[in-house]
Amino acid sequence: DVDHTCETLELFDPSTMTKVVGNIMVSYSAEDPADMERSFVLRLLAIVDYNEDGKLSLQEFSDLIRAFGNKVPSRKIEDIFKQADLNGDGVVNAEELVNLLTSHVGKEFLITRCPVCGEMLGVSNRYNDMIHVSLCFDEGTGNQIMTGGFLTEKQASYGWMFKLSEWSHISTYDVGLRSGSTASHILVFDRRTKRLVEEVIERKIVMSLRAIYQSKLGLTLIDKGTKDLLQNISKKQGEHMSTRDSAKDIPRFINFFEDRINVDEFKHPIEHFKTFNEFFVRELKPGCRPVAYEDNDYVAVCGADSRLMAFQSQDDSKRFWIKGQKFSVRGLLGDAMYSHFFDEGALVIFRLAPQDYHRFHMPVSGVIGKFTEIPGHLYTVNPIAVNSKYCNVFTENKRVVCIISSEEFGKMAFVAIGATMVGSITFTKCEGDILKKGDELGYFSFGGSTVVCVFEKDAIDLDEDLLLNSEKSLETLVSVGMSLGISKTMSKEQAANTRRPGRRDSVVGLDNEVAEREIRATTSANVINRQIDLPKE
């Protein structure tokens, strides 16, 4: 029983091994293996104990098994469940889960891959595996146990367990939070509420998208005719959505997204819309989307109600999000609009979902340049496709590129990208128009679509919370007019007086808040704001 909580070690420059460049504080403790095992099992139980009764049903047990990357048939899982259920009461409690973990069956089937990072386990011994998984659960939270930094609407606590449960039922395809392309739920961080919002994709659609976009065979099939099919479907669907008959779908659509569509913001009443597309491209009442620092053109703003990913460079975007093997800024903009000044500039992606307000606005003040249409396909802009290494969504989709010239930010490429079921991209302004940030620029007709903005090198200092969330491969839910970043030509004094979202407003910041509360799990585990006593020896 040894505890050591404050040993400070020096960090040396590896090129010299004599120059001290910093310090690191190290704490460690010795724990009885049986106690560690029991604590770990309690964490596992809490992750999938959806009804919080301290026991696992067969369904909950199955989710736990699959979350660790075990590709075993349901019948085999049922057999393991029966072996774990020693008292035959139809559920597995903590003690029974401990026994399973230490048994031969448990060693073989329970822990195969880390549910957070996807790394294979079982290389050394089960204690190292427990430590590995625990550290992944606690990523970003210092030495605190059972914190993950996410808030969900369903769980008003730091839902670290959601990191695992979100992936559990799809882990037969792939495992790990880093494997975003396999998600059947899309998780986005709501910038306004600082909560994690879950966007559920219908299961059949998930499997279809994955079959198409996550395999070479699927993309080969698209190349052999499906691309034309998508174009034709999109055209026909777009035509239908402009008929009077389509208006009957409006109430059902609003009801389906009742918690995501604010009818009170509509400029016109629902009865005003004679077709679905009229509703889809609806305008909002003045003042519904306030513009951050409206009179300060050195502050850029978000250009769409969307899920945003922000990167300081093209390389960052490819490392954290865009997995297409052929993605490049030149490919995105096309030869006619490309400039090498964009190569090392910041890149911001605004992904719109069907329930969103579908008009896009100016991120910066400036002069509208020439509109260049680049023909292409209509792949989905869903992360399942964007995260696919076999598909190059942003460089192969139909898109329109416009260069905006700004005194404060230099040249910025504004790219409106079409997607599956999108009939058209419409710009409501003309070349040569002088617009203020926040002014309307255009709209997408029916379907999810995307805007990509590319800045010149060293033109913009993006808001820290957006960058940190993006480094976690987590989209941020934003609205038109929210702060995006500031011009690097802004004076230091003015920049210091400009209040901006920062680290504390990101997922990483929430992690740190939890760490500061010093939540620990030694003789008890803190789960969903209540204490669960660990079994004693």
Residue 340, burial from CB neighbour count under 10 angstroms (0-12, 13-18, 19+): exposed
Q: Which of 462, 458, 414 is closest to 435 using CA atoms? A: 414
Q: Measured between alpha carbons, how far is 262 from 248 in angstroms, rounded to an integer?
A: 19
Please give the backbone phi and psi of residue 452, each rounded to the nearest 5 degrees, phi first. Answer: -120, 130
Enumerate the β-bridge partners of residue 425.
444
* Type of residue at 110: L
Q: What are the residues whose beta carbons fall under 8 Å from the beta carbon of 28, sequence distance 6 or more?
A: 3, 4
Pairwise CA distance, residues 401 & 14, whole Å = 46
In this structure, are residues 160 and 145 in contact, taking their beta carbons and an 8 Å threshold?
no
DSSP string of 253-266, one letter each residue: HHHHTTTT--GGGB
Residue 15: phi and psi, rounded to 5, are -80, -20
Q: Determine the angle formed by the axes of helices 94-102 and 74-84, rounding to 10 degrees.
A: 110
Q: Distance between CA 535 and CA 531 in Å, rounded?
A: 13
- In DSSP notation, 472-526 reads TT-EEEE-TTSEEEEETTS-HHHHHTS----GGGSHHHHHHHHHHTT---SSEEE
* Two tokens, residue 488: 């690097």
Which residues are the active-site residues?
305, 361, 449
Are the C-beta atoms of 378 and 418 separated by less than 8 Å? yes
List of residues 6+ apart from 433 with CB closer than 8 A: 367, 368
